[in-house]
Structure 1
Amino acid sequence: MASDTNPATTVGMAQALEPLVARVLAGNPSAFTFEGTQTYIVGAGTDVAIIDPGPDDAAHLDALVAAINGRTVAAICCTHTHRDHSPAAAPLRRLTGAPVIGCAPLAIPSIGPRSDAPFDPDYAPDRVLGDGEQVTGEGWTLTALATPGHTSNHLCYALPETGALFTGDHVMGWSTTVVSPPDGDMADYMASMEILHAREDRIYYPAHGPAVENTRQLVRGMIGHRRQRERQIAKRLGEAPQTIPSLVATMYAGLDSRLIGAAGQSVLAHLIDMERKGRVRQDGLDWVLTA
């Protein structure tokens, strides 16, 4: 195994990040997954946990089985149920006999094109973890941390033995996450970010993109970024009522066309949050500033 916090990623190659953590990159790159989904293998003894097994892809499953190398899989843990994260849980359970333990099942039907991965309707955990509940193995502990926002069922997993936090899609070093209503919720996302900011995790291992070592600094910046977006929306609506596409066009000038839908969903998430606070209201397709 190559060894480094952020080695050059190679699809299908197990890479040691630290003594208790290795990573295997799935071959599903996109505008929303960066280089692909990163599956983490936790443990250095006779048993391991798998975090975010990824897409149901034969090559990725073969790579995971090779990386497990005959060890017992104590748990297959998913951060949430988008199709780039959880579909490999079921075939990996069949291959290893391991239980699926982690986030609650959630599958919301897609209506029209999505700005991120749709939900996995076949995810069926053997055990759902609540906030603070744990999975343990030889020399390792994973503690669930409820972090709704990106999805209502999102969990992060803390590894107290090393101070690492597996952040799924909640915090990523390469991009802010998509908050897409109706399940994605901006108020929940901001509350979850404040929870992370109050922690002192040494390093974040996200499902997409490089590891993050300046953890609290990054979270503080992301909180500030979202607050700035809300101020931008209020400023634009203070000039005149506007539709979401018109807000996106002025707020995200030069944005990659593949990401316009995601930007619109994030603006909608902000508007819903502002509406609950009594700051805006909807008038047909227009949004109007009220306070």
Structure 2
Amino acid sequence: MAAHPTGIPIQLEPLVTRVLAPNPSPYTYSGTQTHVVGTTDLAVIDPGPDDPVHLAALLATIAGRPVAAIVITHHHRDHSPASRPLAAATGAPIVGPVAFHVGDDGPRADAAFDADYAPDRVLAEGDTVAGDGWTLEAVATPGHTSNHLAYALCESGALFSGDHVMGWATSVVSPPDGDMGDYMASLDKLLARDDRIYYPGHGEAVETPRRLVRGMLGHRKQREGQILRLLGEGAQPLAAMTARMYVGLDPRLLGAAERSVLAHLYDLRRRGLASEEGPAWRSAT
């Protein structure tokens, strides 16, 4: 868990301050981390859940300074709902990825999509938001969600990685919107960059980002290899396969693990390596 309490602004570098929301869970770790960028005018990245205590902490951190933009990485409801009361309090526009609505049949109550998310400006790859002494550039990183964006702070080499890369755990990739092929491609994309540090939506800063991304790619490829070996034994029900792959996992996380296994299976099916057979899966080779 984080080494600082919720609601207390922690300055991470001259242009970046972090405020932790009081929404810890097995899926959010110590809570959602809101990042405030700038000194004279500000951007607020992922204001978090619509929680009056967290909103008060953000307004105290803002301390009357103008807010140029409220910036969203993706519209899961542990990241974007507070954008609306914060916009009402500050007059700032909400900017971020395109809004969409999808049925979320995954196990995460905290990860259901924020149905009321409606950005004033839609951002895509390469778009920028700027203020006095800072520029945020959108980096498209689909996978955890199809519209996920990270943001590069051009002046310092930092990347706000949202839920795409976190130091404490791998991201949940839950179909139908989460896509394992996209997730792996986005990791490859980040590996080719030279960002100095990552500030994720949950967990501590990642000070060796390329090393972590290489490890995450290796981990997912190992999971894929496990799946292919199990399918080689014959038809496999999803739940049974997940239980064999995640021995000793916190039972509260098994549902999310199953969604990630399913995302791998969909990716393998698309590549002609797996097929669905009733309630089970088998090798297609």
Residue 48 of structure 2 corresponds to 54
Taking the TM superposition and a 5 Å limit, the aligned residue runs for 1:28-177 are: 28-44=23-39, 46-111=40-105, 113-114=107-108, 117-177=111-171
What amino acid maps onto 2:159 in structure 1?
A: L
Matched, 1:210 2:210: no
Identity %: 62
CA distance in 2: counterparts of 1:67 and 1:112, whole angstroms: 34
Give CA-to-partner distance per residue, 1:190-229, whole Å, 9 cap, x none: 0100000000100000000000011100000000100110
CA distance in 2: counterparts of 1:112 and 1:157, whole angstroms: 26
Residue 17 of structure 1 corresponds to 12
Q: Is the 8 A contact 1:244 1:264 kept in 2?
A: yes
CA distance in 2: counterparts of 1:192 and 1:60, whole angstroms: 31
Question: Against the structure 1 CA distance between its residues 115 and 98, is the aligned structure 2 distance closer, same or farther, given a 3 Å change threshold?
Answer: closer
What amino acid maps onto 1:131 in structure 2?
A: E
Give CA-to-partner distance per residue, 1:20-62, whole Å, 9 cap, x none: 0000000000000000000000002x20000000000000000
Give CA-to-partner distance per residue, 1:101-134, whole Å, 9 cap, x none: 1111123233474475100000110000110010
Q: Is the 8 A contact 1:17 1:23 kept in 2?
A: yes
What amino acid maps onto 1:71 in structure 2?
A: R
Q: Describe the SS at the equivalent of 1:218.
A: helix
Residue 238 of structure 2 corresponds to 244
Structure 2 portions without partners, runs of 5+:
none
What amino acid maps onto 2:263 in structure 1?
A: A
CA distance in 2: counterparts of 1:101 and 1:112, whole angstroms: 26
Matched, 1:265 2:259: yes
Give RMSD over aligned pairs: 1.3
**Cα deviation, residue 160, structure 1:** 1.3
Q: Is the 8 A contact 2:104 2:176 kept in 1?
A: no
Q: Describe the SS at the equivalent of 1:200.
A: coil
Q: Is the 8 A contact 1:21 1:42 kept in 2?
A: yes
Which of 259, 279, 290 aligns to 2:284? It is 290
Q: Is the 8 A contact 1:168 1:206 kept in 2?
A: yes
CA distance in 2: counterparts of 1:19 and 1:122, whole angstroms: 33
Which of 247, 255, 259 aligns to 1:253? It is 247
Count matched residues.
285
CA distance in 2: counterparts of 1:188 and 1:215, whole angstroms: 19
CA distance in 2: counterparts of 1:27 and 1:112, whole angstroms: 23
**Which shows bigger deviation, 137-146 or 237-246?**
237-246
CA distance in 2: counterparts of 1:116 and 1:84, whole angstroms: 6
What amino acid maps onto 1:43 in structure 2?
A: G
**Cα deviation, residue 11, structure 1:** 0.4
Residue 225 of structure 1 corresponds to 219
Question: Against the structure 1 CA distance between its residues 290 and 111, is the aligned structure 2 distance closer, same or farther, given a 3 Å change threshold?
Answer: closer
Residue 3 of structure 1 corresponds to none
